[in-house]
């Protein structure tokens, strides 16, 4: 095993990939960059396999780790809705979580919504392509013997034996090996009442004001902890926002993707605190003001109300083993409440977003339609808005997204 001597050396390796792409199935640009504003694009994405992985559930109380439980996760691909085709990179997977004896404990169908792709160089010098999906869905306990409030949220019994979780999955494939062999890193989180049971939406109410729940994989080398490095300024020139066109309520047909809209942004940290417990608890959460200026004219601002105080992120822990994807990397769950003006419709909407932040990991590079690009800052922030088609902005329940944000700093 060896390490590349410098970012310049890593960049030369990345540049060499396009000349040798016939030896492997990546790098594979998603073809979502470089097009005119408000124009439909045709994304190119590989088929991602089922996978099985040892993972952890983390129970949080008063923004502290209250319990850590091991599981074996089985992710199984499901078909998309009949007759709709591949809806702009969207798909469904069944998640099953088994205890160490192989007994099913949790299960649920999770919606995957494509976010973006980039290139990395691992510690051995191997090039990887990473594809990130934003995910959400309901999970249900499969047995009645699991205890409340850990590992089962108290809200489950009141909501038809289910709780809504949000997060992400990263798939990584080596571009130096013929045939796609994937590694995965992922997270799903259900947060306390102040966020995931927000009053005024379905499942709103008082259930677990001081408790949150996280599933994370791989479990190997992951160290849970509420206090982690956090997002903040400065920005970088490599971010984008993107619109999906969803079929109207009652219509049958696929969603369509539009080309990315390049942007500049400011993310100004305001406060660190515990949103899920007593005032003296560790400041697991960061609140920040987010402002985005899109190259086509889209605009995102932080009103500070009525749903959320702005950009909100929650420290979860970090992976600590350099040789296992995703490397040494910090993990945060995030959400946000923004005013979003879409350049393609000129219509402002007040929206809620959910997603994930990763900080660190392997050296990363842009992947554009024309080939590998410049190095990327290693704070990756991805979010998708939360909609019920025909009903608009929603919280607390599974959702689809028509606005995707990709930020780096």
pLDDT, tens only, 216-229:
999 999 999 999 99
Q: Which domain range does residue 31 map to?
A: 7-408
Domain count across the chain: 1
Residue 100 maps to a domain: yes
Mean pLDDT per segment of 10 residues, for the chain of length 409 residues?
42 50 71 95 92 98 98 91 63 96 97 97 92 98 94 97 98 85 96 97 97 98 98 79 85 84 95 95 97 96 96 98 96 98 93 98 94 93 93 94 96
Residues 6+ apart with CB under 8 A from 100: 70, 72
209, 161 in Cβ contact below 8 A?
A: no
End-to-end CA distance of the chain: 29
pLDDT digits over 91-148, tens only?
999 999 999 999 999 999 999 999 999 999 999 898 999 999 999 999 999 998 999 9
pTM, to two decimals: 0.94
Residues 6+ apart with CB under 8 A from 53: 72, 73, 75, 184, 217, 218, 219
Residue 1 maps to a domain: no
pLDDT computed for residue 176 by the predictor: 84
Residue 264 maps to a domain: yes
pLDDT digits over 332-348, tens only?
999 999 999 999 999 89
| Exposure of 79 in the CB half-sphere (CA atoms within 13 A) | 5
Residue 98 maps to a domain: yes
Residue 266 maps to a domain: yes
pLDDT computed for residue 97 by the predictor: 98
Residue 224 maps to a domain: yes
Q: In terms of residues, how long is the chain? A: 409
Residue 2 maps to a domain: no
Please state, in angstroms and rounded to a whole number, the distance separating the CA atoms of residues 355 and 166: 7
Q: Alpha carbon of 398 to those of 15, 76, 150, 208, 296: distances in Å? A: 40, 19, 22, 19, 30
Residue 236 maps to a domain: yes
Please state, in angstroms and rounded to a whole number, the distance separating the CA atoms of residues 363 and 127: 10
Tokens of 15: 């540049």
- Dihedral (CA of 259, 264, 268, 272) sign: positive
290, 336 in Cβ contact below 8 A?
A: yes
Paired with 405 in beta bridges are: 241, 383
């Amino acid at each position: 095993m060896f390490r590349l001597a410098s970012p310049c050396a890593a960049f030369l390796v990345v540049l060499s990939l396009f000349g040798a792409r016939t030896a492997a199935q990546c790098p594979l640009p998603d073809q979502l960059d470089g097009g005119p504003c408000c124009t439909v694009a045709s994304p190119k994405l590989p088929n991602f396999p089922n996978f099985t992985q040892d993972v952890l559930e983390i129970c949080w109380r008063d923004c502290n780790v209250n319990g850590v439980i091991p599981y074996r996760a089985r992710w199984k691909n499901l078909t998309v809705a009949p007759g709709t085709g591949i809806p702009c990179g969207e798909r469904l997977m069944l998640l099953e979580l088994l205890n160490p004896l192989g007994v099913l404990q949790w299960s649920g169908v999770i919606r995957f919504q494509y976010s973006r792709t980039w290139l990395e160089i691992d510690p051995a010098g191997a090039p990887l392509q990473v594809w990130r999906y934003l995910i959400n869905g309901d999970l249900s306990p499969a047995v009645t013997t699991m205890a409340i409030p850990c590992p089962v949220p108290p809200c489950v019994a009141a909501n038809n034996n289910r709780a809504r979780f949000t997060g992400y999955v990263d798939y990584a494939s080596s571009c130096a090996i013929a045939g796609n062999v994937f590694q995965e890193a992922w997270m799903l989180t259900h947060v306390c009442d102040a966020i995931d049971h927000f009053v005024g939406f379905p499942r709103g109410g008082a259930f677990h004001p001081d408790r949150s729940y996280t599933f994370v994989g791989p479990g190997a080398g992951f160290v849970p902890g509420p206090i982690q490095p956090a997002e903040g300024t400065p920005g970088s020139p490599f971010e984008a926002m993107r619109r999906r066109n969803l079929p109207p309520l009652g219509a049958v047909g696929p969603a369509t993707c539009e080309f990315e809209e390049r942007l500049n942004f400011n993310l100004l940290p305001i406060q660190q605190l515990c949103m899920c417990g007593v005032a003296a608890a560790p400041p697991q959460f960061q609140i920040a003001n987010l402002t985005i200026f899109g190259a086509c004219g889209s605009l995102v601002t932080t009103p500070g109300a009525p749903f959320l105080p702005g950009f909100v992120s929650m420290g979860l822990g970090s992976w600590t083993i350099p040789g296992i994807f995703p490397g040494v990397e910090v993990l945060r769950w995030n959400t946000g409440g923004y005013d979003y003006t879409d350049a393609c419709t000129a219509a402002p909407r007040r929206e809620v977003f959910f997603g994930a932040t990763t900080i660190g990991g392997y050296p990363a590079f842009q992947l554009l339609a024309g080939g590998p690009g410049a190095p990327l800052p290693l704070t990756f922030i991805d979010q998708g808005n939360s909609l019920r088609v025909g009903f608009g902005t929603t919280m607390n329940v599974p959702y689809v997204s028509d606005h995707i944000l990709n930020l780096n700093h």
